[in-house]
Amino acid sequence: MGSLDTIGGSTGGGGGSVSPVSPPSPTSESVASGGSFTAKTFGAFTDSGGRISSYVATTTSASGSTSWSGSGLGPYTASGSADGDAGTLSLTARDSGGNDLATAVHTYTRTAAAGESFVNTLTLDVTAMTSTTLSAGDNTVDGRNVYSEDAGVTIGGGSGLTPAATRDAFISIDDAFTNKETPKVIELKIVNAAWAGNGSSNAVRARVWSTTAGAGPSAQTRWYPMASGAMRHAPQWQPRYPNLTGTFQSSGGSFDHTGDSAVTTWYSYLACIRGTWIAWISKTEDVPTSLADLMTPDAFTWVLGVNDYSVIGTADYWPSTVLAGVYSQAAGSLGTLTRVRCWEFK
C-alpha cells in the first residue's frame, strides 16, 4: 500500500435530516504508457436531506507517486504520474459534524512501458521433421538446409539428428534472427543413448557455426563424464571476424556438474552478444529471463571470449547464415540433436 494524500474541500450546506446519502457509481480510467490522466469531476451524491457539509478526497496509491488536487466534486487534477502508476481517488462526503456519509471511488492506472526481453523466435522439433536420409553435403528438409558431412545420416520421422563420431551435421537457423546487433540465445537439446567411457575422448559438442566451411563466428559447448562422477563442461569458441577462418580455442576453464556423469540429456546454451559468446549446459531448461539474468555471472556459465572483429560500430558482425548442430568424439557416446530453440533480445 502506498501513501495516503487527503485533500479537503467545503461545500457549505448542512441540515439535520436523517435521509440516506448515496455516492455516484464507481468510475475508472486506464491510460497507455506515456499518457496523461484526465481531470476527474465526480458525479453528484444523492442527498435529499441536504446532509453533506464537505468533501474529502483521498489518494490511495497502489504503485507510483501520482497525486490529485482539487476540491468539492472537482475537477481533480493528477500530477507526478509515471508509467506503472495505479491507485484510487476516493471522495468522501461528510456532515457538519465531520462524520463520513458516503464515498465515491475512481480507479486509475497508467500502463507500464513494455520492457525489452528475450523473445522466442524459433522452436524446431528435429524429431518431427520429415523422415529423410541425408546425402553428403547440403540437403533440404522441410524447406530448411541440413548439412551432413556423411551420406546415410537420417533425420526426422521420430528421430533426431545423429552424425557418426568425429563427423558434423548442422541445421540452418538463420531465419530465427532479424537483427544482427541484438543479443541472441540458442538452445540445443542433445540426448545420448549411452556413455562409452570417461574423459574428453567421449566429449559431445553442441555447435553454432556461421558456415559449413568454418568461416565466421562460432562457438560450442563441450561436455563429457569424469571418473569422479561429475559431468565436465569445457566450452570453446572461434575468435574471428565473420569472413576469417580459425580453429576452436578453449575457454581456459571448465565446470564440473557434480554427480551427473550418468545424465544423458543435456540442454546446451550458446548466447552471443555481438562478439562475445556465453555458454552453459543444464539438465533442465535454463533460458535467461532477461539481459541482466544472462549477464549475471555464476560458476557454471562461461564467457568464452571476444571475437577479433575489425569493423566496430557496424551491423556486419552477425552473419546472415547460422547453423546449429552436434559433433561427438566417440562412437559409443553419440549425441542426438532432438530440438533447437532460439531467442532474440527485443
* Neighbouring-strand partners of residue 31: 110
How far is residue 67's CA from residue 69's CA, in Å, rounded to a whole number? Answer: 7
Specify whether 235 is located in the same domain as 274: yes
Specify whether 49 is located in the same domain as 65: yes
End residue of a domain, out of 75, 110, 145: 110
How far is residue 108's CA from residue 67's CA, in Å, rounded to a whole number? Answer: 11
Q: Which cell is 123 given? A: 522452436
pLDDT value for 288: 87
At 128-151, the pLDDT tens digits run 999 999 999 999 999 999 999 999
What's the average model confidence in pLDDT over 286-314? 74
Q: What count of other Cβ atoms lies within 10 Å of the Cβ of residue 265?
A: 13
How far is residue 64's CA from residue 37's CA, in Å, rounded to a whole number? Answer: 14
Mean pLDDT of the chain: 86
Specify whether 65 is located in the same domain as 157: no
Specify whether 124 is located in the same domain as 104: no
How far is residue 31's CA from residue 38's CA, in Å, rounded to a whole number? Answer: 9
Total domain count, the chain: 2
Distances from the Cα of 228 to the Cα of 224, 262, 301, 329, angstroms: 12, 11, 21, 20
Read off the DSSP letter of residue 126: G
Q: Are strands 27-31 and 100-110 parallel, antiparallel or unpaired?
A: parallel
Specify whether 192 is located in the same domain as 315: yes
End residue of a domain, out of 110, 131, 156: 110
How far is residue 59's CA from residue 137's CA, in Å, rounded to a whole number? Answer: 69
What's the average model confidence in pLDDT over 12-32? 79
How far is residue 14's CA from residue 237's CA, in Å, rounded to a whole number? Answer: 82
Kindly report the CATH number assigned to the domain that includes residue 318. 2.60.120.200
Verify cis geometry, omega within 30 degrees of 0, for the bond prior to 235.
no
Q: How far apart are the first and last CA of the chain?
A: 32
Specify whether 311 is located in the same domain as 180: yes
Specify whether 330 is located in the same domain as 189: yes
Specify whether 76 is located in the same domain as 28: yes
Specify whether 75 is located in the same domain as 152: no
**In which band, very low, low, confident or very high, does the pLDDT at 313 lie, cut at 50, 70 and 90?**
low
Selected residue with higher pLDDT from 194 and 62: 194
Residue 64's domain spans which residues?
4-110
Rounded to the nearest 10°, the torsion over CA 328, 264, 191, 331 is 30
Selected residue with higher pLDDT from 311 and 189: 189
Specify whether 194 is located in the same domain as 319: yes
pLDDT value for 240: 61
At 73-104, the pLDDT tens digits run 999 999 988 888 889 999 999 999 999 999 99
Specify whether 174 is located in the same domain as 52: no
End residue of a domain, out of 65, 85, 110: 110
**In which band, very low, low, confident or very high, does the pLDDT at 273 lie, cut at 50, 70 and 90?**
confident
Read off the DSSP letter of residue 251: -
**In which band, very low, low, confident or very high, does the pLDDT at 118 lie, cut at 50, 70 and 90?**
confident
Specify whether 336 is located in the same domain as 226: yes
Kindly report the CATH number assigned to the domain that includes residue 33. 2.60.40
Q: Which residues contact 275 (CB under 8 A, 6 or more apart)?
A: 217, 306, 307, 308, 309, 317
Q: Which amino acid is at 40?
A: K
CA-based nearest residue to 82, from 110, 107, 60, 58: 110
